[in-house]
Structure 1
């Protein structure tokens, strides 16, 4: 392989990796629509769900972003009446990862008052996105 061709291949790989990274970064932490499965408190090992909405965070013991996400979600939940934050440790309940399709931690499910999944966040939650998604759930 000639030097110019090798340089072109390397530059192409760098461009492809950069584009993939930018797409991943743009999607991580954003609220996305999710299947409207119903979740009960016993499904996630909790005493109860919030009366108006629930933020269910799936974490693991070795997740670097999970403590920060927990602080964000707990803070947003405290700002609104009837909203609860539940942190589910997948190292203790690994079967829940398959059931809820958790491929990375943290993953957060936004539930309405009935326990229907109304949104999903893969990665570290962004406070403003969580607030706006909760506002939509709480006003419907």
Structure 2
């Protein structure tokens, strides 16, 4: 292989990696629909909130999870009927398959019946989280 071809391939791979990284960063923290998922409160041995529940999936090695935990706990403390539950996937990897969680933190907005109304991968944007809660 010629040096020019090798440099061209390496350059193309770098450009591809930058484009994919920018796309993933842009999608991080945005609201997505919950699909047809239902959250089972017996997975956490806690009860759902009377209005809504913020379910945070995290792991022990997650660097952004403490930030999300503080944000969601503060939000749940300010609003009546809102509860924050944290699920550690380090100890419950079966739940990552059941709820299709591919990254941590992932946050679900769950209504009082257990239906997942919104989902956030990464650190949720405050305004998008407020909109998801207002829709309930």
Give the TM-score taking structure 1 as reference length.
Answer: 0.87
User: What residue in structure 2 maps to residue 117 of structure 1?
Assistant: 116
- The alpha carbon displacement at 1:43 in A equals 2.8
1:25 positional shift: 0.4
Structure 2 equivalent of residue 133 of structure 1: 132
Q: Does the residue aligned with 1:114 lie in a helix, a strand or coil?
A: coil
5 Å matches for 1:56-75?
Answer: 56-75=55-74
**C-alpha distance in 1, partners of 2:60/2:3?**
47
Provide structure 1 residue ranges, at least 5 long, that are not aligned to the other structure.
none
Aligned to 1:89: 88
Deviation track 1:37-85 (CA, whole Å, cap 9, x = no partner) reads: 2223213321x11111100001111111110011111122223211111
Structure 1 residue 29 corresponds to structure 2 residue 26? no
Alignment: residue pair count: 136
Specify the alignment match of 1:12 in structure 2: 12
Distance 1:102 1:117 in 2: 13
1:64 partner SS: coil
The aligned residue for residue 51 of structure 1 is 50
How far does residue 30 in structure 1 lie from its aligned partner after superposition? 1.3
Structure 2: gaps of 5 or more residues: none
